[in-house]
Amino acid sequence: MRPVYWFVTYAVKLATSIMCRIDAPDLQKFPKKGPYIAYSNHTGQIEVPLLYSHLQPRPTTGLAKVETWDGWFLRWVFNLWGAIPIRRGEADMNAMRMSLQVLQNDEILVIAPEGTRNKTGKLLKAQPGVITLALRTGAPLLPMAHWGGEIFLSNLKRLKRTDFHIRVGEPFKLDPGNVRVTKEVRQQMVDEMMYRLAALLPESYRGAYADLENATDTYLSNLKG
C-alpha cells in the first residue's frame, strides 16, 4: 500500500496547490519528532486534504466523524491515511484507544476542538474532549490556525483559486497543578487553548474567542528551550 499511499498523498498535495494559493510561512515549525496534539479550527472540506498532504512526510493523522466512512471514496482515502473515526456526542473509547496509540508511536494527532464545522469561519465554543487525552498522555499541544477555506467550494464553482492561510503557534502543555480536574476546569483549559488559537487568526475569524483581553493561561505551561 505504500506506493499507493504516496501517490495519492502527493497527488492531493499537487491538486490543492493548484486550487489554492497557500500562505504558510511557518509550517516548518511543526516538530520533526515526538508526539504532539495539533489542534485547529474546522471550517470546511479542503482543510483536511490540504493540511494532511502538506505536512508530509511527518507522520500525521487525525480524528474525523464516523459518518465520513459512509461513502466508499472517503472511506478508502481516510483508511489509507489512518484517520480515526469518532462517534460525536459520546465517550468513544475506541477512538481514545487509537488516539493513544498514535501518540505512543511519536506521531502528530490533529484534533478540531470545536467538534463540528463552523460554516462562517468564525470560531465556535470548543468542546473539552481533547483535555482528557492531553492530560492522560502528557503530549504537548500545538495550535494551528487557518482561514480562507470556508469559501473554497464557492470559489471552485467559479473556477477561482482560494487564498488559504496557515499559521502555527508555539507548543505548550497542560498543567492542572493540584487542582481537581472537574467539568468546569476542563472547559477552562480548552478555552485557554482556544484563545491561543484565536490569537493566530485575523480578528474577524475569532468568533466565540474574540475577547482576547479576557484570555488566561492558568493551566497552560510553555515548553522550555
Q: What homologous superfamily does CATH list for 2-222?
A: Glycerol-3-phosphate (1)-acyltransferase (3.40.1130.10)
What average pLDDT does the chain have? Answer: 91
pLDDT interval class at 58 (50, 70, 90): confident
Position 11, amino acid: A
- Kindly state the percentage of the chain with pLDDT values over 90: 68
Instruction: Please report which residue ranges of 81-145 form alpha helices under DSSP H.
Output: 93-104, 129-137
pLDDT for the residue 225: 54
- What ranges do the domains of the chain cover? 2-222
pLDDT interval class at 217 (50, 70, 90): very high
Residue 28 per-residue DSSP state = G
pLDDT interval class at 119 (50, 70, 90): confident
pLDDT for the residue 118: 85
Flag whether pLDDT at 45 surpasses 90: no
Q: What is the pTM of this model?
A: 0.92
Q: What is the DSSP string of 61-86?
A: EEEEEGGGGGSHHHHHHHHHTT-EEE
pLDDT in tens, 138-149: 999 999 999 999
Element (H, E) at 162: strand 162-168
By the 8 A CB rule, do 138 and 173 touch? yes
Element (H, E) at 154: helix 152-157
- Could you tell me the three cell numbers for 177? 497543578
- Kindly state the percentage of the chain with pLDDT values over 70: 99
